[in-house]
């Protein structure tokens, strides 16, 4: 049961991208990279274990993880680099070997990155669910996160490989894209764990969903680019003042929409602790309706801001 719950959501998202993109590679090829992603997840888990064993011999690594700065350090020098490197290797090695024969399009390479990331997610889901350290709902909504982490270096690989850019080109662009993924990876993990700490650190948790929403937006923008489509414009002002005001509106829309999603997540999480009969209690129904209306209001305001920015850009 845990295996099915771990694998089915990433596979469904992979199928969505496969059918969404007309020039997608064959499904069997994507499934091949999906399996490679799961293998890379196992390798990353083993390497992290080795890292922590070595680190414990040098410093009191376990004790460091009890304080917030130690958590940040672990995410930035262990978890992020190891996991992003394992995913990168799972994409670049087979793609580089097969490229002379198949001449992959940019969309194919980018989809290989998504497939590897989703395979990595499936393996990670199975670890969490089999050890009962995370609820199924939480793992389902985190399905696209690894793909969002890896989007920057996936985009660079897509351009470099499909355009036969030299090794110098890789050295010039790939490290920066990899570092971007590592920082985003570590930051998301830190924000997601900040609720374990007292005020003011636990307030960082409110930045998690806006940041995830921005990363999802970036993934979609990069996907449009590799398909040869123009990115969706939100910042269209002609003067610095106009562009600054529009950036403030984008930030406000992300904060409102992200925390509307966060509010719905907390609502579902709290309701999951109740039995079915309690859900029909008058106070519980009133609580559900109030939270739904509140978060829907935040989401509606964010959508109005977004549509106004899109309308300004088209004009």
What is the DSSP code string of 14-25? HHHHHHH-TT--
Q: Considering only 47-51, 115-119, 136-140, which range has the smallest mean pLDDT?
A: 136-140
Domains in the chain: boundaries: 2-232, 237-315
pLDDT on residue 169: 61
Share of the chain above pLDDT 90, in %: 53
Share of the chain above pLDDT 70, in %: 97
Rounded to two decimals, what is the model's pTM?
0.91
Q: How many CA atoms lie within 13 A of 277 on its CB side?
A: 0
Quote the crossing angle between the two packed helices 2-20 and 27-58, to the nearest 10°.
130
Query: What's the rounded mean pLDDT across residues 12-41?
Result: 92
Is the pLDDT higher at 212 or at 271?
A: 212
With b for 16 or more beta-carbon neighbours within 10 A and e for fewer, the 92-103 pattern comes to: bebbeeeeeeee
pLDDT on residue 165: 65
Dihedral of CA atoms 125, 127, 128, 129 in degrees, nearest 10, equals: 80
Closest CA to 32 of 119, 99, 92: 119
Q: Which range, 16-25, 163-172, 293-302, is most confident?
A: 293-302
Per-residue tokens: 28:
């069997």
Confidence of residue 277 (pLDDT cuts 50, 70, 90): confident
Q: How far apart are CA 92 and CA 46, in angstroms?
A: 20
User: Is residue 167 over pLDDT 60?
Assistant: no
Average pLDDT value for the chain:
89
Confidence of residue 199 (pLDDT cuts 50, 70, 90): confident
Q: How far apart are CA 2 and CA 5, in angstroms?
A: 5
Q: Considering only 57-61, 162-166, 240-244, which range has the smallest mean pLDDT?
A: 162-166
Q: What angle do CA 202, 207, 210 make, to 5 degrees?
A: 155
Confidence of residue 78 (pLDDT cuts 50, 70, 90): very high
Confidence of residue 168 (pLDDT cuts 50, 70, 90): low
Spatial CB neighbours of 307, under 8 Å, sequence gap ≥ 6: none
- CA atoms 25, 27, 32, 38: torsion sign: positive
Spatial CB neighbours of 19, under 8 Å, sequence gap ≥ 6: none
Q: How far apart are CA 113 and CA 89, in angstroms?
A: 10
């Amino acid at each position: 049961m845990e295996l099915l719950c771990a694998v089915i959501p990433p596979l469904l998202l992979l199928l969505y991208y496969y059918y969404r993109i007309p020039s997608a590679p064959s499904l069997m090829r994507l499934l091949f990279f999906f399996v490679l992603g799961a293998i890379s997840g196992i390798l990353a888990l083993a390497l992290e274990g080795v890292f922590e064993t070595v680190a414990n011999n040098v410093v009191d690594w376990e004790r460091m993880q009890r304080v917030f700065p130690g958590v940040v350090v672990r995410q930035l020098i262990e978890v992020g680099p190891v996991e992003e490197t394992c995913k990168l290797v799972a994409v670049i090695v087979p793609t580089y070997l097969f490229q002379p024969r198949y001449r992959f399009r940019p969309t194919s390479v980018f989809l290989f990155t998504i497939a590897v990331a989703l395979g990595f997610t499936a393996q990670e889901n199975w670890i969490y669910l089999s050890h009962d350290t995370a609820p199924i709902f939480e793992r389902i909504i985190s399905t696209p996160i690894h793909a969002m982490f890896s989007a920057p270096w996936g985009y660079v690989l897509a351009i470099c490989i499909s355009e036969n850019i030299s090794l110098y080109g890789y050295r010039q662009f790939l490290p920066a894209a990899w570092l971007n993924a590592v920082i985003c990876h570590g930051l998301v993990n830190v924000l997601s764990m900040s609720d374990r700490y007292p005020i003011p650190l636990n307030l960082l948790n409110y930045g998690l969903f806006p940041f995830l929403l921005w990363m999802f937006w970036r993934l979609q923008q990069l996907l449009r680019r590799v398909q040869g489509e123009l990115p969706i414009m939100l910042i269209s002002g002609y003067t610095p003042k106009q562009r600054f005001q529009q950036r403030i509106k984008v930030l406000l829309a992300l904060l409102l929409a992200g925390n509307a999603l966060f509010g719905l997540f907390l609502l579902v999480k709290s309701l999951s602790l109740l039995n079915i009969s309690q859900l029909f209690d008058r106070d519980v129904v009133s609580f559900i309706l109030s939270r739904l209306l509140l978060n829907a209001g935040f989401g509606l305001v964010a959508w109005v801001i977004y549509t106004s920015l899109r309308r300004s850009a088209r004009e």
